[in-house]
């Protein structure tokens, strides 16, 4: 399966999880003492997931809804990348999807260690590398930070400075000052054997659909 298809599925999963977080928050706030309404929300969520969700192999899913009406029982039946987002996390993620500036790093899930550095980003130019661990941002310890909160701290206005303390693979600690930039998705195209063309999108933003169009039309 191509990375492009996997990335598209990731967007679908992301949208479903945000929806689940919203309706989960609503069910806890508005329907706390009304079990019948909780069931309605539960079955609506299950239907939405079954209609839109694809697992990492590209297969749809048939959920077991015979269990108690709890959104967590649905999430548990999905792959490991699925999770419920809290109301605060949804607000943060909505802000993150805006064209804000950052340093251009992707984190290893549920850690402050870097999984990937975006090419030609501030982090790349500053020498940050895979498995470097961020321990402080602007003098504040990031111990216990969720990935969302971590990304939120690293983002800010275009041209603003951020000071990051990292521990490298050699266990050496460095303090690095970077200037935030709007990170544009890296789009690569190519032609494989048998004249099969591909478009690889490494990161997504609100502008990705319009940016992918011209490379596709070039084939």
Q: What global pTM score does this model have?
A: 0.51
Alpha helices in 97-154 (DSSP H): 122-125, 147-154
* Domain limits, the chain: 3-85, 98-182, 187-217
For domain 98-182, the CATH architecture is: Roll (2.30)
Residue 187 β-bridge partners:
201
Give yes or no for a contact between 87 and 19, defined as CB atoms under 8 angstroms apart.
no
pLDDT of residue 34: 56
pLDDT of residue 202: 64
Phi (first) and psi of residue 42, to 5 degrees? -60, -50
Residue ranges in the chain modelled with pLDDT below 50:
1-18, 20-33
Stretch (H or E) spanning 189: strand 187-191
Residue-wise pLDDT for 84-128, tens only, equals 777 766 666 666 555 568 898 888 878 899 988 888 899 999 999
Spatial neighbors of 135 by CB under 8 A, at least 6 apart, are 112, 141, 142, 143, 165, 166, 167, 173
């Amino acid at each position: 399966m191509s990375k492009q298809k996997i990335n598209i599925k990731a967007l679908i999963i992301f949208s479903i999880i945000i929806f689940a977080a919203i309706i989960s928050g609503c069910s806890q706030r508005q329907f706390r003492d009304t079990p019948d309404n909780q069931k309605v929300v539960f079955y609506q969520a299950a239907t939405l997931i079954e209609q839109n969700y694809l697992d990492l192999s590209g297969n749809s899913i048939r959920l077991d809804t015979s269990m108690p009406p709890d959104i967590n029982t649905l999430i548990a039946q999905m792959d490991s990348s699925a999770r419920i987002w809290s109301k605060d996390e949804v607000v943060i993620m909505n802000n993150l999807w805006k064209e804000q500036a950052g340093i251009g790093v992707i984190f290893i899930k549920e850690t402050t260690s870097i999984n990937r550095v975006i090419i030609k980003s501030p982090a790349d130019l500053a020498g940050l590398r895979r498995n470097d661990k961020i321990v402080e941002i602007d003098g504040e310890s990031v111990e216990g930070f969720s990935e969302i909160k971590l990304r939120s701290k690293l983002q800010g206005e275009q041209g603003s400075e951020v000071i990051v303390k990292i521990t490298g693979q050699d266990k050496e600690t460095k303090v690095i000052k970077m200037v935030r930039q709007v990170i544009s998705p890296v789009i690569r195209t190519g032609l494989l054997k048998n004249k099969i063309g591909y478009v690889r999108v490494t990161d997504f933003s609100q502008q990705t659909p319009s940016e992918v169009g011209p490379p596709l039309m070039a084939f």
